[in-house]
Amino acid sequence: MRFDVSDEGPVGAETVVLLHGFPQSAQSWIGVSRPLLAAGYRVIAPDQRGYTPQARPRSRRAYRLNELVADVVALVDAAGAERVHLVGHDWGGGVAWMVAATRPDRLHTLTAVSAPHPRAVVKAMLTSRQSLQAWHVGFFQVPWLPEAAIRSRGGRFAVAMLEQSGLSADLARAYTDRFINDPDGLAAALRWYRAMPLDTSVGLRTGAVTVPTTYVWSTDDIAIGRRAAELTSRWVTGPFDFKVLEGVSHWIPEQAPDELATYILERIRSISPAT
């Protein structure tokens, strides 16, 4: 498979890898990338599996977590890096947690954005309203209906839902139009969700993370509640910081890029003070 990748900054510098979520692309990281590049880092942001036309398997089994983790490791190899600073938002955050848990040898640090540790999510679903907040996960399991809903009436339903979740009108329209113009891309993006039943045991067995980690959560996130966010620390045994952005929605990379970049740089410099 061939992935579309943004790769900027000095080739010999420490490398930061940015993983986007749904329904985003590497472009969602533009505001975050600028401060990282200005600080002298190499910044790599791929369009992940399914979002890249030449990396779009048709089987939902191809979107299991072990495959997504393998993509990240292959990307790090292709970049010529031994270890990287990994950042992930939304689904990208879920993948980043799994990379940190299973391949800590390839990471310097982890910054997870919005997405809590998988076992924190499971625990929160049993002890809070987290299941209700993640209603879209169940909806996306239904065949064909989510695709039809997202494309209906020129995408008005999807745009309205994204705006309601806190995304700006311009970005809500841009993300929706991308999938309307690329229905195969929409189906592929939804396979991330449809592969989840195949990965239930994997999430439950996700180990504790030992690499230095920062978890960033926002109070106006309609998908992730405070309970899951606060439980995350239980599954990090290495150095850990929990950052809370007040009044910010789920879309932290787009809505608060400077604050997020500051937290990423703080985490990186906690182990690289001379950088």
Q: DSSP string covering 213-224, please? A: EEEEEEEE-SSS
- What does the pLDDT look like over 48-97, one tens digit per residue? 999 999 999 999 999 999 999 999 999 999 999 999 999 999 999 999 99
Burial 168-186 (b: 16+ CB within 10 A, else e): eeebbbbbbebbbeeeebb
CA dist., res. 21 & res. 92, Å (int): 5
- What does the pLDDT look like over 216-248, one tens digit per residue? 999 999 999 999 999 999 999 999 999 999 999
Considering the candidates 117, 221, 250, 263, report the single residue annotated as catalytic.
Answer: 250
Q: Look at residue 274 and tell me whether its pLDDT is greater than 70.
A: no
CA dist., res. 265 & res. 167, Å (int): 25
Domains of the chain are: 5-128+201-270 (3.40.50.1820)
Considering the candidates 41, 51, 193, 215, report the single residue annotated as catalytic.
Answer: 193
**pTM for the complete prediction?**
0.96
Residue 32, pLDDT score: 98
CA dist., res. 125 & res. 129, Å (int): 7
Q: How many CB atoms lie within 10 A of CB 272?
A: 14
Q: Look at residue 203 and tell me whether its pLDDT is greater than 90.
A: no
- Per-residue pLDDT, averaged over 113-136, amounts to 87
51 is catalytic: no
90 is catalytic: yes
Going by the DSSP 8-state scheme, the letter that residue 51 receives in this structure is T
Mean pLDDT of the chain: 94
Cβ–Cβ under 8 Å, residues 76 and 100: no
Name the percent of the chain lying above pLDDT 70: 98
Considering the candidates 90, 108, 175, 199, report the single residue annotated as catalytic.
Answer: 90
Hey, which of 115-124, 159-168, 265-274 has the most confident mean pLDDT?
Answer: 159-168
CA dist., res. 196 & res. 225, Å (int): 20
Residue 100, pLDDT score: 97
Residue 275, pLDDT score: 43
- Establish whether the linkage from the previous residue to 23 is cis, with ω within 30° of 0: yes
Residue 274 CA neighbour count, 13 Å, CB half = 1
CA dist., res. 200 & res. 198, Å (int): 6
- Per-residue pLDDT, averaged over 239-261, amounts to 98
Question: Which of the two residues, 262 and 272, has the higher pLDDT score?
Answer: 262
Residue 208, pLDDT score: 92
